Amino acid sequence: MAPAALSASVLFPRVGLVGRYNSPGIAEPLERLAQCLAGRGRAVTIEAETAALTPVAGYRAVPAERLGAEVDLVIVLGGDGTMLSIARLLAPFGVPLIGINQGRLGFLTDIVLTDLETMLAAMLEGEYEQEERRLLACEHRREGSAVERSLALNDVVVNRGVTGSMIECAIHIDGRFVSSLRADGLIVATPTGSTAYALSSQGPIVHPAVPAFALVPVAPHALTHRPIVVSDASELTITVLKGRDCGLHCDGQAHFRLQEGEEVRVTRAGERVQLLHPRGYDYYAMLREKLHWTETPEKLRAR
């Protein structure tokens, strides 16, 4: 489908679409979304892997790595995992993201399919709330040198591998020794990631506006090891003391093998992710809905 002629006054004239890979039934809403955008004068580009796996013809395809340089806005149709993967790629470009939920909980994808056209039309006219989310910059260090680097929007996790043995690591914050931890692992979570793996490990929920990271032990051997929240200006160093089969995971999507004596250094990244929400978006209302805070046990059992 040929795009309509672009006007200089159009907000977000070039829009990229990313779909959840191999998701049943995604072609129909993706095509609806593309037609909705093209009908409102936007040039539509589909991320290349989405285009290859989804039979939606007539639109330009661009690899995910190039998308940030070629569009003004990206709309993700999927779940939080899809949002995480594309957000890390877009962060250096400052391109904002809108999430349409086709996953489960959807803490980052807050538009439901039934409201797609109505909400999107309003947002394309400037009716939206804009929010910045912090990222973690992670370095895997061996003998004092970085051997791998990655960004993370949710969390950086050091944990045990398939052998099932606990790991032992030393934690330093800004060069100061904090503790030695024997556990299944350690999560360093952003406020965004505080409602993900960290929450299931009894970590605190941290509001996105709070400039902090949460350190959350996973099944610690000593019950006195508790989650701690620190300034996001801190430099965190995790040194593997014992662990024959230890791994480093960034957003559960970038994975690296760790050996004893190696370090993981985590700091606040210079890049930030730009999220757009529908007008009236309320973080606390989102938590109430996703976590069923107003539901009684009787109502939950009836579902």
Tokens standing for residue 149: 């680097």
The kind and range of the H/E element at 49 are helix 48-53
Tokens standing for residue 213: 């990271």
Residue 264, burial from CB neighbour count under 10 angstroms (0-12, 13-18, 19+): buried
* 235 touches 265 (CB < 8 A): yes
Interacting residues of 114 by C-beta distance below 8 A, sequence separation 6+: none
Q: What gap in Å lies between CA 271 and CA 265, rounded to an integer?
A: 17
Tokens standing for residue 255: 């994975």
- Catalytic annotation, pick one of 72, 80, 110, 282: 80
DSSP 114: G
Q: What gap in Å lies between CA 40 and CA 32, rounded to an integer?
A: 12
Q: Is residue 282 flagged as an active site residue? A: no
* 62-70 long-range Cβ contacts below 8 angstroms, 24+ apart: 62/16, 64/18, 64/89, 65/89, 67/16, 67/18, 67/95, 68/92, 68/93, 68/95, 69/93, 70/14, 70/16, 70/45
Residue 41, burial from CB neighbour count under 10 angstroms (0-12, 13-18, 19+): middle
Classify 195 as helix, strand or coil: helix
Residue 83, burial from CB neighbour count under 10 angstroms (0-12, 13-18, 19+): buried
User: Would you please indicate which residues are annotated as catalytic (active-site) residues?
Assistant: 80
